[in-house]
Every structure is written in structure tokens, then in C-alpha cells.
Amino acid sequence: MKEQLQSIADEALSMLEKVQDMKSLEEIRVTFLGKKG
């Protein structure tokens, strides 16, 4: 379980490093938190 959480966190951080505009940031937010998150 701990490894899964770390994997998700690593993936999120990797995606966040590539953000270049608000649209891509919003897409990442929806991917990890959902539309209502």
C-alpha cells in the first residue's frame, strides 16, 4: 500500500514538473482528485 501511494505521488510530481499552462494543470488535478475534488 505504501509503495502504491509513493508511486502515485511520484507520478503526480513528474506530471506537475511538465505543466506549462492552466489547462494542463487542471487536467492533472482532475486526473488525481476528480472533477469535484
pLDDT at 21: 98
Can you give the residue range of the structural domain that contains 19? 2-33
What is the rounded average pLDDT for all residues in the chain? Answer: 95
The answer to whether 10 and 1 are in contact (CB under 8 A) is no
- Residue 37's contacts (CB-CB under 8 Å, 6 or more residues apart) are 29, 30
pLDDT at 33: 93
Q: Across residues 12-33, what is the average pLDDT?
A: 96
The answer to whether 9 and 16 are in contact (CB under 8 A) is no
pTM summary value = 0.75
**Number of structural domains the chain divides into:** 1
